[in-house]
């Protein structure tokens, strides 16, 4: 299912929280809305779902107009063929796993082959041995998988995820990232995922829309966002950045201690050292700025260090 947002905007009171926004989400892709708290991610997602009405613009899903201010079209959420996965899983605590997953099918009277469809959905999330458990008898990751099974059983064209992993601990979160991405890819479902976590966005997405104060500052593949950020905000929000001046930066991963012919060289003083297990993360002083550099060798604060950067890895950002 391809989603086209055309000039949609939204205000609450006199505050415009989504400025006129246009972009296309490709069929079968995993797209992330990434940005800091309050930038409008959830509002954008809720407008796609039909839970919030845009003030202007149009929303098209494939060839069907879901919303148009001008044409006075506004399809209700239940007619949009979309499913929502929330941060808090929103499982029914008094229902067993099977009934939680069957709930949506029963609610719409779509009960043909109900048992096998529910079991198939639970097989997809590897929980078909847990049919009789109650949500409180499951781990956080298992609850999240039930929430996911509940959405895929209704075979939606698109799943909207609102920070679905944020209630999980760091390890489980990482594992669920892979699982969610694998499951949505194998089912070929268009996914729109909201997060403020750039690692999550980078590792899962085909494309990322970086939002800042209600504007989409950049919409592109994760690699392009990382290596060619269009604005200072995007450069700072996605990945670490070492700023040479107001317009030029490089990524710490593009610096090396090995001399590069024709490379830029910088002699720097170590300010602090953080041990990260596989590497030491050094904070280096560059004039009044601080840079980050990952080293396999331990340094002490005050020590000098020379690093080299290939000029082709210098990123130019217009202010
Ligand atoms: P977070 O990551 O904290 O959930 P977000 O990027 O998802 O943030 P939104 O929830 O979309 O941001 O909110 C964007 C702005 O709109 C915020 O300033 C918020 O306070 C405001 N807002 C959201 N919903 C409403 C509402 N129903 N009434 C008034 N203001 C709202």
Cα end-to-end span (Å), the chain: 36
Nearest CA to ligand 1 atom 9: 40
Mean pLDDT of the 77-95 span? 88
pLDDT in tens, 43-67: 999 999 999 999 999 999 999 999 9
Nearest CA to ligand 1 atom 22: 12
34 Cβ closer than 6 Å to some ligand 1 atom: no
Q: What is the pTM of this model?
A: 0.91
- Greater confidence, 72 or 177? 72
Mean pLDDT of the 253-271 span? 94
Mean pLDDT of the 239-268 span? 94
Residue 33 has pLDDT above 90, yes or no: yes
Residue 196 Cα: closest atom of ligand 1: 2
Residue 89 has pLDDT above 80, yes or no: no
37 Cβ closer than 6 Å to some ligand 1 atom: yes
135 Cβ closer than 6 Å to some ligand 1 atom: no
Mean pLDDT of the 184-192 span? 91
Residue 46 Cα: closest atom of ligand 1: 11
Q: What is the mean pLDDT of the chain?
A: 93
SS3 102: helix
* 265, containing H or E segment: strand 264-275
Task: Tell me what pLDDT residue 88 has.
Answer: 76
Nearest CA to ligand 1 atom 23: 43
311 Cβ closer than 6 Å to some ligand 1 atom: no
Nearest CA to ligand 1 atom 4: 37
Task: Tell me what pLDDT residue 92 has.
Answer: 92
Mean pLDDT of the 206-218 span? 96
Residues 6+ apart with CB under 8 A from 40: 10, 17, 18, 211, 213, 214
Residue 38 has pLDDT above 80, yes or no: yes
**Whole-Å CA distances, 248 to 228, 257, 282:** 11, 20, 20
CA–centroid distance, 21 to ligand 1, in Å, is 16
Mean pLDDT of the 63-90 span? 91
Task: Tell me what pLDDT residue 298 has.
Answer: 94
Residue 267 has pLDDT above 80, yes or no: yes
Distance CA 81, CA 280 (A): 48
CA–centroid distance, 46 to ligand 1, in Å, is 11
Instruction: Give the other-Cβ count within 10 Å of 125's Cβ.
Output: 22
Nearest CA to ligand 1 atom 20: 38
Task: Tell me what pLDDT residue 190 has.
Answer: 95
Q: Using 50, 70 and 90 to split pLDDT, how confident is the model at 115?
A: very high
40 Cβ closer than 6 Å to some ligand 1 atom: yes
319 Cβ closer than 6 Å to some ligand 1 atom: no
Task: Tell me what pLDDT residue 164 has.
Answer: 86
**Whole-Å CA distances, 301 to 61, 256, 266, 279:** 56, 19, 17, 16
Residue 211 Cα: closest atom of ligand 1: 6
CA–centroid distance, 40 to ligand 1, in Å, is 6
Residue 87 has pLDDT above 90, yes or no: no
102 Cβ closer than 6 Å to some ligand 1 atom: no
């Amino acid at each position: 299912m391809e989603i086209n947002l055309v000039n949609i905007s939204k205000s609450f009171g006199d505050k415009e929280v989504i400025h006129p926004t246009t972009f296309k989400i490709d069929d079968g892709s995993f797209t992330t809305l990434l940005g800091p708290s309050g930038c409008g991610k959830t509002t954008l997602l809720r407008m796609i779902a039909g839970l919030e009405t845009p003030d202007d613009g149009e929303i098209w899903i494939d060839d069907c107009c879901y919303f148009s201010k001008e044409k006075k079209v506004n399809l209700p959420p239940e007619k949009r063929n979309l499913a929502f996965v929330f941060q808090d899983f929103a499982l029914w605590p008094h229902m067993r796993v099977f009934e939680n997953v069957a709930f949506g099918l029963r609610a719409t009277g779509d009960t043909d082959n109900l048992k096998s469809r529910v079991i198939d959905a639970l097989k997809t999330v590897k929980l078909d041995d847990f049919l009789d458990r109650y949500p409180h008898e499951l781990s956080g990751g298992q609850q999240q998988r039930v929430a996911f099974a509940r959405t895929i059983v209704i075979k939606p064209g698109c799943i909207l995820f609102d920070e679905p992993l944020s209630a999980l601990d760091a390890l489980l979160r990482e594992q669920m990232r892979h699982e969610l991405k694998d499951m949505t890819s194998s089912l070929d479902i268009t996914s729109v995922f909201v997060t403020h976590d750039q690692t999550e966005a980078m590792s899962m997405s085909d494309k990322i829309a970086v939002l800042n104060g209600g504007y989409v500052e950049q919409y592109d593949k994760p690699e392009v966002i990382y290596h060619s950020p269009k604005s200072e905000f995007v450069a700072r929000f996605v990945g670490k950045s070492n700023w040479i001046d107001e317009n030029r930066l490089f990524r710490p991963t593009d610096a090396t201690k090995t001399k590069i012919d024709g490379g830029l060289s910088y002699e720097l003083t170590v300010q602090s050292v953080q041990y990260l297990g596989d590497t030491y993360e050094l904070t280096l002083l560059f004039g009044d700025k601080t840079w980050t550099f990952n080293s396999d060798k331990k340094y002490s604060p005050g020590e000098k260090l020379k690093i080299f950067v290939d000029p082709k890895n210098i990123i130019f950002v217009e202010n």
